[in-house]
Structure 1
Amino acid sequence: MPSTKLTPEQTAARFGVHKAIDNFPSKLTPQEEANVKVVLEYMEIAYSPKDNKGASSVKHLCAPGNTFSAASTFPEAHTAEEYSESHSHVMSSLQDLHIIQFDVVVAKENFVSLRYTATGSHIGGPHNGIQATKRKAQWTAAGNFVIDEKSGLIQHWWKDWDKMQMWKQLGWVKPDNDKVEFA
């Protein structure tokens, strides 16, 4: 299936989210379009220091009984609402955190997968006892979503995130922040 690029203006007109999509399927069914819209709206809210006020900010996009899985990055979050709550705490440290672009968005039936590039600076409160470093980071992450076919809301989300590279850039790796290398 050929892919296309969407400018921030095209993504905003189509999905209500003002972010470029670098690789996007050229043809989707109306239901797949609706599923992408739900996922992009969730991501826009969850990654907005202004709009993410915790779990209640995304509740309207989450199916009852939904699940979330990202044991290595957010081990305490087990629902999409709990992820938004946990992420709001990260954003209290990274007060300018935002998604730069969606690198890839794919939709097939009730599955939506995306990879995105984000950035943020530690200009806010402490993170795990580390005072603001004023350092900036850029990283990638990916999410795979299942949309509930009856409600059209997020039923499950798996998240993968290049957390250690982000933490290294921000100076959040202890004990020798700048000397630590990862294989």
Structure 2
Amino acid sequence: MVMIIELSAEETKRRFGVAIPIRNFPYQLNHREENNVKLVMEYIGIAYSPEENKGANSVKHLCDRGNTFEAVSTFPKAHTAEEYAEEHAKVMASLTDLHIMRFDIVSAKEDFVTIRYTATGTHRGAPHNGIEATGKRAEWTAAGNFIIDEHTGKIKHWWKDWDKMRMWKQLGWVKPPDAEFL
């Protein structure tokens, strides 16, 4: 039986370098799993930082050569973890205060790391798909599943799922505004 604990922002910062609380975390990880979580947290810390994410080169050192990224419904132009950082930088240009509020769950088993998080942001920046800043705030969830290359210790593959429609509706990015998605 796996014991689940909660980590405060301070504990997560000390252990993984990112000051974001984790609500559900396995009590024990082996050394390899601990390093893999640290790698994913470093990537997320950069990719979600308006100051640090300057596009693909910001995260290149964390990504395996030939890595892949899949999120067809949310980032169809991104096919690598570096391309995701590039596309995400564009979202952050619109949501200048975008940040992860908490990790709802972080787990690791061998070379597999999974995360689910809750994020927030306000459209105060650049236009998004031609929509000028709405001043509206949104809160949404997303999840990522990562495979870390056992030889290089870098991100080999990443699948991302994102509650994009919830976010877009709250921000006023869905046209018409009363559209429903089933």
- TM-score relative to the length of structure 1: 0.98
Instruction: Name the residue aligned to 1:89.
Output: 90
Distance 2:118 2:48 in 1: 11
* Cα-Cα RMSD: 0.6
Distance 2:167 2:21 in 1: 22
Deviation string, structure 1 residues 55-87 (Cα, Å, up to 9, x no partner): 001011101110000000000100000000000
Instruction: Name the residue aligned to 2:180.
Output: 181
Instruction: Name the residue aligned to 2:72.
Output: 71
Distance 2:13 2:37 in 1: 12
Q: Which amino acid aligns with 2:143?
A: A
Q: 1:157-168 to 2 correspondence within 5 Å?
A: 157-168=158-169
Instruction: Name the residue aligned to 1:106.
Output: 107
Displacement after TM superposition at 1:181 (Å) = 2.4
- TM-score relative to the length of structure 2: 0.98
Instruction: Name the residue aligned to 2:18.
Output: 17
Distance 1:77 1:67 in 2: 9
Structure 2 residue ranges without an equivalent (≥5)? none
Distance 2:70 2:34 in 1: 24
- Partner-residue secondary structure (3-state), 2:97: coil
Displacement after TM superposition at 1:126 (Å) = 0.2
Q: Which amino acid aligns with 1:182?
A: F
Structure 1 residue ranges without an equivalent (≥5)? none
- Partner-residue secondary structure (3-state), 2:145: strand
Q: Which amino acid aligns with 1:112?
A: V
Deviation string, structure 1 residues 147-176 (Cα, Å, up to 9, x no partner): 0000110000000000000000000001x2
Aligned length, in residue pairs: 181
